[in-house]
Amino acid sequence: MRRFTLFLFFILSVGINAKPVDLNELTLVEIASGSIAWPELEFTAEVDSDQPSQFEDVALSVLGKLQEHESSHGLAPEELVASGRLYAELAKVFSNSKGYYNLVLADACRRLALSRIGYGLVNSSDEVELLRETYGKLQSSLILEQEAAVLEALDSTIDASLSVESLTNPEGLSRTWEALGTSIAKVRYEAAKHPNSAKSVQLIQYPSAALLLNNLSETDLILSVHIPGMIAFIERGGQLDQIDLSNITKFKEIMGDTRSSFSFPPLSVKKLYAIHLYSLVEMFSSDEDFMTNDINDRVF
The predicted structure's pLDDT at residue 51: 59
Residues of the chain with pLDDT under 70: 1-20, 45-52, 159-165, 288-289
- What pLDDT does 54 receive? 84
The tens digit of pLDDT for each residue in 135-159 reads 998 877 788 888 888 888 888 777 6
Q: What is the pLDDT of residue 282?
A: 92
pLDDT attached to residue 45? 66
Our separate counts of H helices and E strands in the chain read 14, 0
Give the pLDDT confidence score for residue 161 in this predicted structure. Answer: 66
Burial class (CB in 10 A: 0-12, 13-18, 19+), 129: exposed
- Name the β-bridge partners of 264: 269
Q: Please give the DSSP secondary-structure letter assigned to residue 40.
A: P
What pLDDT shows up at residue 3?
Answer: 47
Is 124 within 8 Å of 77 (Cβ atoms)?
A: yes
Q: What is the spatial distance between Cα 2 and Cα 10, in angstroms, rounded to a whole number? A: 13
- Classified as helix, coil or strand, 269 is strand
Q: Are 137 and 85 in contact (CB under 8 A)?
A: yes
Cα 73 to chain center, whole Å?
Answer: 19
pLDDT tens digits along 25-51: 999 999 999 888 999 998 876 544 555
The Cα-based distances of 153 to 19, 113, 120 in angstroms read 30, 23, 33
